[in-house]
Structure 1
Amino acid sequence: MRTLVEFARRPRIPGRRPTRIGLVPALTVAIVLAVAVAGLAGWGDHRAAQRDAAVRQALATAPAAAKAIFSYDYRTFDHSIANGRTFATGAFEKEYAHTTAALRQTATKQQAVVAAEVSSTGVVSATTERVELLVYLNQYRRNVNTAGEKVDQNRVVLTLVPVDGQWRVAEATAI
């Protein structure tokens, strides 16, 4: 068995240099890799902060939007619907206008008043450009056909998107 000293004294092959990685290139590679990993982590944190800001803004908008979209009063129907439309965008805005136009005659005939209140919200999914929220919504309704006030408990997924710096409802799906 050879000792460490004997191993260190082994003869060199003439014309051949010992192979070893230079310290400077190895450190350079390590530093470049560390900077790249730190940069990626920083970018990930930045995107997460942007997503969190989008969620906060959408959550702040959702109660007022849901209340406006899902409430109406036959006495001020046009005003109620105009208020709801301020929170809608895109295809949903057109769908909302169509649905409420069909509802107008029935609401007036039945003297319907529907007041929506959000009891809770939760995030379904979120990016910086689209936030889906689960909204627990109570609709308090009364009309000439009902005695007193009735409460409908609903769950709705609202999809909000930023439009000109404001979050608007791009889709509403009852579940």
Structure 2
Amino acid sequence: MANPTIRGRGSTSPGRRAMSAAARAAAKRSDRVRPGPGGSAVLDTPHGPAPRRLEAPDDASQARRDENQHVGPVVLAEEVAALLPDRRRRRVRLCAFLAVLLVLGLTALGVLGREYAEGRHTDAARAQAVAAAQKAAPVVLSYDHRSLAKDFAAARGHLTGAFEEEYARTTSKVVGPTAKKYRGVVKASVVAPPNGGAPAASVVSVSPDRAVVLLFVNQVTTSTQVTGSRVDLNRVRMTMTRTSGGWKVSAVDAL
């Protein structure tokens, strides 16, 4: 009778051993997470520490987590808030500096604009004063004993201020009686170059409302006191003043 074959643990066939290993692995995977008491989930960790219960965080732990999460932003906000006064001070200083620059710029612009306007007015005053002096000199410095009233009235139309009053007194008390007595005739003219250039007149000083003009004036005089005619070459300084009626003579000085 044949002896039955006794198989030990080491004699298990390879196929059977592979099936057993696969079954154990599947069982371990299914047992890693299993329901625990109270409906909570229990995590089984093979070859590790005791199973750890996965529970929902309570209110206190959640508050601590929220507080920890907000530590960074709160600190950053406090630092930014601490920097705000310095930034405000820098902004105020910058605004003040810009305001000073603006005021200085506007002041300089106003000064330049005023100087430019005064320069234009001065140039206009120079031309107008010279033209008025050239026109007034022959009238003021001329007269004829046959038409004294007319000549003196025409001259006063070019005068202004105290000089007009002084001229009226002088002509009525001195010039007029002398011209009638000696039959005097005086004809004045501003010297002009032979080639027909501008008359000999120049501006000594000028402002928008006042100018001093120097003229070269020839006076031809005839009277019973002289034989023939006498020619006087005079330098005359006329002070011109702007009035509502234009530029007028306010002073005459013979040089």
Q: Normalising to structure 1: TM-score of the pair? A: 0.80
- Taking CA–CA contacts closer than 8 Å with sequence separation of 6 or more, which of the two structures ends up with the larger relative contact order? 1
Q: Aligned with 1:75: secondary structure? A: coil
Q: Kindly report which structure 2 residues correspond to 1:105-144, keeping only aligned pairs within 5 A, or say none.
A: 105-119=177-191, 120-144=200-224
Richer in strand (by share):
1
2:127 alignment counterpart: 56
1:174 alignment counterpart: 254
Structure index of larger Rg: 2
- Deviations along 1:98-133, whole A, 9 cap, x unmatched? 111121121112111100111221111111121111
Give the aligned residue type for 2:139.
A
Q: Does 1:160 align with 2:231?
A: no
2:27 alignment counterpart: none
Paired residues in the alignment total: 159
Could you tell me how far 1:160 is from its partner in structure 2?
1.1
Q: Distance in 1 between matches of 2:123 and 2:241?
A: 14
**Aligned residue among 112, 118, 126 for 1:41:** 112
Richer in helix (by share):
2
Q: Distance in 2 between matches of 1:32 and 1:163?
A: 36
- The share of aligned pairs that are identical, in percent, is 37
- Deviations along 1:7-39, whole A, 9 cap, x unmatched? xxxxxxxx9x8xx89766655544543343232
1:81 alignment counterpart: 152
Unaligned runs of 5+ in 1: 1-14
Give the aligned residue type for 1:93.
E
Q: Distance in 2 between matches of 1:38 and 1:90?
A: 37
Which range moves more in the overlay, 34-43 or 91-100? 34-43
1:146 alignment counterpart: 226
Q: Which runs of 4+ in 1 moved over 3 A?
A: 20-32
Give the aligned residue type for 2:230.
K
Q: Normalising to structure 2: TM-score of the pair? A: 0.57
Unaligned runs of 5+ in 2: 1-82, 192-199
